[in-house]
Every structure is written in structure tokens, then in C-alpha cells.
Structure 1
Amino acid sequence: MMGAADSSMLIVTPRIEPAIAKLAPGFRALSLSVEASDIVRPKVGTEALLRAYQSVATADCPWAEAHLAAWAEVFRKFGAKPQRTPCSAEALRKRVLRDGSLQSINPVVDLYNAISIQYAIPVGGENLAAYTGNPRLTIADGAELFDTMKDGHPAHESPDPGEVVWQDGLGVTCRRWNWRQGVRTRLSADARQMWFILESLPAMPLEALHEAGERLAEGLHNMMPGAAIDIRMIGIGMD
């Protein structure tokens, strides 16, 4: 725990359905619950991005290639085509390699994108206040609703049957495991209840996962010194 949490702080307890273990043996993740405070150092996010760009340019993440290849194989197992819909970390790193940088979104999103790029790990950031119930990683039956935007207007679509999705009591919050986030739970810099999920496979060393979580927590605390942060490891049988 980092920061001064009180009894009213919401601690996220995501559920990982047992079927996920068959698709991705050894899957483990860090769940960060954050009671945010005012952002006093917004440059923390952009500075983290600059470090991440340098990391990609110098290939100083030795497990990156193996970890992203492992994610691509998991995506194929549930019917996704990673060349067209790669995991979020691969998509970000490809954009950096192609363009040299990313467009800034907001300080918080910039920070967790930087962690994702530097550590070659999918990282999601969510507005916990928009959730109904706890997040759940599960296999879709195809009837669930996912809120998105089409042609500039709010729209709904459904995941493919058998697709791995994050969802809550209202619907899907992220499609194809960590490929596309929904609009409803999207994280803004002024959110007060934040949730972050760092998702790894065994190709990424466990100590690197913990280091990535610590860097994210440190960045958030530097950005908003009054924040309270709770970090927990999750996985099959750990919730």
C-alpha cells in the first residue's frame, strides 16, 4: 500500500475465470486500486513516455520479443488475429517504432502507456466509478454488449463467441482481452477512483512484472502525491 488510504477506499478484487488457465497457463497480473488526488506534476506522464521511447530504441527490455510472441499465440488460441488486432502492448510499441512517439492523451494515460511500452506488457487503466460490480476476465458467449464509437457516434457491438473479454455487471469493458477498451469505463485525468491492470505471461520474468507495477505506482504518487495506492497480485485461484 502506498499513500494514506482510509476505510472508504475501494479495493478492486477482479475475478479470473478458470477457463482462462486453459488458454494462458501461468497468467498472472498486478491489480492497482487508486484513490486519486489532484495532479500537481502533470509532466510525470510525458517524462515517462520519453524514457519508454528510449527503451524501445535501445532494445533494453530483453524479454519483450518473447512476451509479445506469447501474447500473439494466446490471441490465436481464442480466435483473434494478432496481425490485425494485436495485444495493447504490441500495438503501442509498433506505433513508437514507426512514428517515434505517441500523441499525448492525458498525464495518467501517458504514464500507464509508458509503462506498457517500456516493459512490453499490456496495461489497462479504468475509471472504477463507472463500474457495476467487480471486473471479471472471462470467455464471451457473443451476447454481451460492448460500448464503442462508430462514425463519431456512440454505438454497441458484441464480442465474438469464445473471445476473451473483461466485463462488469453492465457489459464488456475491454474486447479481445486487452485490445480495445470501451467508452464507458475510459479513464480521464480527473477521475477519483482508478483501477490499473498489468497483465503478464510466463515469458515475462515475475520480478519484471513487480518492477513494472512499482514504477507505475511511483509515477502516480509523484504525479499526485496525495493518492492512496493498493497493489495486489492476481491469477487463477488467487482471487
Structure 2
Amino acid sequence: MPDIFYPSKNDNNKIYIAVLAKGRDIEAKDVTVEYRRKKEDEFFKYINLDINKSIFMHQVHQVNIEKIDENNINKFGGREKLVENTDALITNLKNVPLVVQTADCAPVIIYCNKTKSIAAVHSSWKGTRDKIVPKTIELMIKEYNAEPSKMYVYIAPYIALNNYEVGEEVAVYFKNKTMINNRWHFDNGLEIRDQIINLGVLKDNIEISSLNTYDKEFYSYRRDGVQAGRMLTVGVIL
């Protein structure tokens, strides 16, 4: 199936990560809910995961983190049984796909090899400002005794610095910014990288996608405004 992207460093022996893009053959304005659902169903079938057992979030650009375990997993699953008002999920359960939906924000998959625990995080600029990724790692440390130095982190495609113009009121929070044509531009992925390195994650264990969601094959809120589509990033412990 086309329009699927994968990390280059992850070998899929312990965790599986896949990204579903929009594709070049359809404009965002032409994407319907029906089209999106059909494409997502085909995607889960192609990667051999059950969409109805996958955990989706109703994302709200805050720092709410939900632990998925035997006590609550039956409450969730698929598009209809979302984890409400949540932007990050953690679990140590095998074969439970965690899903992040984005259209320019940074999707982040975190895996601790020592404790076999995983997280899926939606980090908008607000989430990055509020340090949702480091706080998710801190919760993994608390809940699973995870070790940052034993973690692999994949920052999936997000909007590139050149296309991510922000105002002074946003830029003031971040180090990874630059002026282009007298306007501030911000690199969300690099900011997240620096935050988690400060927490003890090894730089060599962080993979940042070089793909840009402003490009045609992805959904981009900045490029297209309100539209039906969202990129999916899925992570699951095998």
C-alpha cells in the first residue's frame, strides 16, 4: 500500500511503527470522512493490526496523559471509543496499537527497551511549550521504572521550520527558532529532541523524520486550513 512511511532506525523486532499519509493523488479539500475511513481501514489491514483494538485519542492540545492497562483497556478501541481529552498514551501491554492523529503537529513514539513500555504523544507547539513529551517520559519512569537512556524515540513527520511561521508570542518559548523574511519560524521536532536529551534520552536514540507535512502527500492545517484529514502515526509493542 502506498502512502505509508516508517522509521529508518527501528527494525520492527520489538515495536512496530507506521505512518499513514494523505497521498499525492488527492487534494485535501476533496477528502471526505468516508474517504478517510476507507483509507484508514485499508492501512490497518495492510499493516496487519486491528483498528478496533487500536487506541485513539480525542486530542485537545493539553498535557493530559492516560495509562492504558488491564483495568481500562476494554473502555477504548477504534474510532468510536476514544480516550477523551488526552494528548498522550502510555502502556506496557503487547499488541495494543496506540494512535496519534496530526496535521502538522509532532507525533512522538517512545519505547523503553528495558521495561518494554511505550508511549504515543501528540505535541503541538502548546504541548511542546508545556513539555508534554518529557512529562510523558517522567510518567513512564513513575509507572514502569523506565530508563530514559534505554529509550528509542521516533518523532514522526511534522511541519518543517521553513513552513512554520509563528508570532513573537509563540517564538518566545523556544530555542529552536530562526528569522526568515523578518518572521519567526520554529522547529518543533528539534525542540522536543532537546527537551528529552535534557531528561537523559541519548541523542543517538532519537530519530527525527526528515519529511515535512507541508508537502503535498501529507495533511497540513497550516497549508489547507480546516479539512477532514489527519495523518496517523501508530506504535505497538510486539
Q: Same fold (TM over 0.5)?
A: no
Between Structure 1 and Structure 2, the one with more helix by share is 1
Between Structure 1 and Structure 2, the one with more strand by share is 2
Q: Which has the higher contact order (CA 8 A, sep 6+)?
A: 1
